[in-house]
Amino acid sequence: MISLLFWLVVIPFCIGLLPAHFITDKKAAGPGLVLLSGFFVMWALFEAAALPAVIFVRYANFRAASVGFAAGSILCAMAGVLLAIRRRRAPVRADGGIFAPVRAMSWAERSEWLLFFGLLGFQLYKAAAYASFDGDDAYYVVESLIAQQADVMYRILPYTGRPTDLDVRHALAVFPMWIAYIADRSGIHATIVSHLIMPLVLIPLSYLVYYEIGRLLFCRRADENGGSFSGEDLPIFMIIMALFQMFGNVSIYTNETFFLTRTWQGKAVAGSLVIPALFWIFLQIYGGREREGRTGAGVWIVFVCVNMTAGICSSIAVFLISILTAVAALALAVVQRDLKVLLKMGAACIPNVVYMAIYVVMAYSYLW
Amino acid sequence: MWGIFLESVVIFQNYMGFHENGYLAGIYLFALLYLWLAEKDRRRRAIFVYAPTLLLFLFFCPLFRKVFVRLLEDSETYYRLLWLLQMSMVSAYGLLKLCGRHRRIGLAVICAAIIACGDYVYDSEHITKAENAYHLPQEVIDIVDMIEPETGRITVLVPADLIYFVRQYSTNIELPYGREMLIARWDYHHAMYEAMEKAEVIEADTFTELAREYPCAYIVLKEDRQIDEPLTEHGYDLYGQVGGYLIYRDTQTE
């Protein structure tokens, strides 16, 4: 339990202090942003540690990736803490304590938040107490378990247990290996971590992204109402988002269905966490609150890490978010009449280009 | 090109659940249309109006679909392009903007519309009460606990309905074939699978001969599975029973 808290709360939060250091807007750099940023930087670190191990190390490659990731994470976490101490700027809002926004709310607002947390709690209860069958688990969850039990990444066919060559499409999407890492550190069976622990982490984390988006969308009204970030539209936005997730099962293909039925799979994380996070980044950079340039450096770091996170989720996700970024950059460049937007957002996508280049080289290596 | 466009239309309809009277897409398109008319902030307009519209245009563009499928060598995942629309977020933003100051009445109407047009995810037949912390069928865990070796790995032949789960519990159990055999469109052929699942009545002679090629240390059969001769007459003993499954051990395999 302590290991879980350490790797799923303490380490991401401390790592998040690193990009938060480069965001000067105190209101923007709240604990939610710090934690979210920390997760994205941590996943980017995992990609950087795991991909070379998957590609170049044949035996005990999971151990190699784990050592590299642990060292990188702890170093970044320490750097984040040191920077926070040096600046003596606690990310947690101090004015009036953390309950000040709650005290400033009307009873109606409080009841709306209560309703939202009721919906969230219900989703978490369902995720923990109910099993959701999905055939793809025979691949992804077993890959995590193989890494935990046999110390091997992507060299054993999960369906049967026989040795196999690297399957490029899956081998570059190392999200199951991150789950294996958490399982290994905590000493909990990887299947329990996937099916039970991950939803309890990833569902709230997705809502944290929606919350941050809501803050950016409705902050103006909130500011007019006394400076609290819990604007009166925000709880309603969150309730609608929660209901949409619960009733979005109009087909087996929607990201809402993936979100609540395959929460632990990389593609679900891509649909419900990474893609919304891009909207959050777009709003941070171009939504009005965060000024471009020096003050936004932290957000750009997170932008790059969100792109890298897509790579650990699924190889198609890299392609998808590149399309989204290209389309959004084009639209923003047109409305701002500024071609630099295209260049900046294109530069943030360099990890995607590198990832796709690795993919192509590995997939077509038989040609040379 | 017209054919590719029509394929995209079908994918869109299937994604949005039109065939099952799911009309959440209607809410989304309504919200998007409203934002087209009402959103004045040009940056938000770019993110919440122009970008989704461009994405919709790309989705239906036959040339784009051709490039997408060619690059990824996969046409089955094209629907994921629709994930970029983030229907829930755009709808929530658009509808809240529409409500203006009538927030509470608006919330009630929006909630009613989502419930009426959507489909409750927890009604899915694939979601059942968890029997354990693994979220796996308890019978699988009991079977594997019974046969798993203390060291090393063994190969075990199990019925199709257990294939998904056995290796999620223990990777010390190897299987002669896996989930790939259960996906009809993948079109795999496997002699052991044919003998185990396709034959109306298992022919014990050829069946045990195939099983010993791996060799399978255990064979798990459903209690009501028909077999022309008992496995006990072919060098197996009945090792145990878990629920509706009989577990046979090959006495000739060490």
B61, part of any domain: yes
Lowest mean pLDDT among A139-148, A258-267, B102-111: B102-111
Give the 3-state secondary structure of residue B24: helix
Domain extent at residue B38: 2-123
Q: Phi/psi of residue B216, each to 5°?
A: -85, 115
Give the helix/strand (H/E) hosting B209. helix B204-213
pLDDT of residue A363: 82
CA distance, residue A4 to nearest chain B CA (Å): 16
Rounded Cα gap, residues A274 and A206, in angstroms: 9
Name the band, by pLDDT with cuts 50, 70 and 90, for residue A232: confident
B210, part of any domain: yes
Of residues B87, B104, B130, nearest to A130 (C-beta): B130
Average pLDDT, chain B: 90
* pLDDT of residue A213 exceeding 90: yes
pLDDT of residue B249: 93
Lowest mean pLDDT among A179-183, B38-42, B244-248: B38-42
B111 shares its domain with B12: yes
Burial B26-50 (b: 16+ CB within 10 A, else e): ebbbebbebbeeebeeebbbbbbbb
Name the band, by pLDDT with cuts 50, 70 and 90, for residue A168: confident
pLDDT, tens only, A340-355 = 889 999 999 999 999 9
- Domain boundaries along the sequence of chain A: 2-92+108-367
Mutate to test the interface with A, among B35, B40, B168 (most CBs of A within 10 A): B168
Name the band, by pLDDT with cuts 50, 70 and 90, for residue A117: very high
Name the band, by pLDDT with cuts 50, 70 and 90, for residue A25: low
- The model carries a pTM of 0.91
Lowest mean pLDDT among A22-36, A152-166, A254-268, B74-88: A22-36
B128, part of any domain: no
B109, part of any domain: yes
pLDDT of residue A89: 54
Contacts of A192 in chain B (CB under 8 A): 133-134
Residue partners of B172: CB distance under 8 A and separation at least 6: A149, B148, B149, B152, B153, B154
Lowest mean pLDDT among A23-27, A109-113, B123-127, B198-202: A23-27
- For the segment B223-250, the average pLDDT, to the nearest whole number, is 90
Q: Is A355 on the interface with B (CB under 8 A)?
A: no
Contacts of A215 in chain B (CB under 8 A): none
pLDDT of residue A271: 94
Percent of chain A residues past pLDDT 90, beyond the cut: 65
Q: Phi/psi of residue A290, each to 5°?
A: -85, 125
pLDDT of residue A27: 64
Cα-only R_g, chain A: 20
B91 shares its domain with B196: no
Total domains in the fold of chain B: 2
Lowest mean pLDDT among A162-176, A227-241, B52-66: A227-241
B198 shares its domain with B221: yes
B114 shares its domain with B152: no
* pLDDT of residue A187 exceeding 90: yes
Q: How far apart are the first and last CA of chain B?
A: 61
CA diameter of chain A: 69
pLDDT of residue B185: 76
Q: Is A246 on the interface with B (CB under 8 A)?
A: yes
B231 shares its domain with B180: yes
Higher model confidence: residue B65 or residue B76? Answer: B65
CB-count burial class (<10 Å; 0-12, 13-18, 19+) for A289: middle
Distance, C-alpha A173 to centroid of its chain: 14
The pair of structure tokens assigned to B146 is 């019974």
* pLDDT of residue B13 exceeding 80: yes
Contacts of A124 in chain B (CB under 8 A): none
Higher model confidence: residue B2 or residue A196? Answer: A196
Q: Phi/psi of residue B158, each to 5°?
A: -125, 160
pLDDT of residue A292: 46
Domain closes at, from B80, B100, B123:
B123
Contacts of B104 in chain A (CB under 8 A): 108
pLDDT of residue A84: 87
B166, part of any domain: yes
CA geometry: angle A108, A112, A113, nearest 5 deg: 120
Rounded Cα gap, residues B195 and B89, in angstroms: 50
Contacts of A131 in chain B (CB under 8 A): 127-131, 135-136
- For the segment B54-58, the average pLDDT, to the nearest whole number, is 95
The pair of structure tokens assigned to A64 is 């190699």
Give the 3-state secondary structure of residue A19: helix
B97 shares its domain with B201: no
Count of C-beta atoms within a 10 Å radius of residue A118: 12
Name the band, by pLDDT with cuts 50, 70 and 90, for residue A102: confident
pLDDT of residue B137: 94
Average pLDDT, chain A: 87
Rounded Cα gap, residues B245 and B254, in angstroms: 23
Chain B, 147 to 176: residues with Cβ < 8 Å from chain A are 153, 155, 163-165, 167-176
To 10 degrees, the CA torsion angle through A277, A278, A284, A287? -120
B131, part of any domain: no
Rounded Cα gap, residues B52 and B224, in angstroms: 54
pLDDT of residue B164: 94
* pLDDT of residue A222 exceeding 60: no
A/B interface, count of CB pairs below 8 Å = 262
pLDDT of residue B62: 93
CA distance, residue B49 to nearest chain A CA (Å): 9
Rounded Cα gap, residues A125 and A129, in angstroms: 6
B6 shares its domain with B116: yes
Name the band, by pLDDT with cuts 50, 70 and 90, for residue A336: confident
* pLDDT of residue A119 exceeding 60: yes
Of residues B45, B84, B119, nearest to A250 (C-beta): B119
Q: Is A332 on the interface with B (CB under 8 A)?
A: yes
Name the band, by pLDDT with cuts 50, 70 and 90, for residue A31: confident
pLDDT, tens only, B78-113 = 999 999 999 999 999 999 989 887 888 999 999 999
Domain closes at, from B123, B157, B180:
B123
pLDDT, tens only, B22-31 = 688 899 999 9
- For the segment A158-174, the average pLDDT, to the nearest whole number, is 88
pLDDT of residue A20: 85
* pLDDT of residue A122 exceeding 70: yes
Name the band, by pLDDT with cuts 50, 70 and 90, for residue A88: low
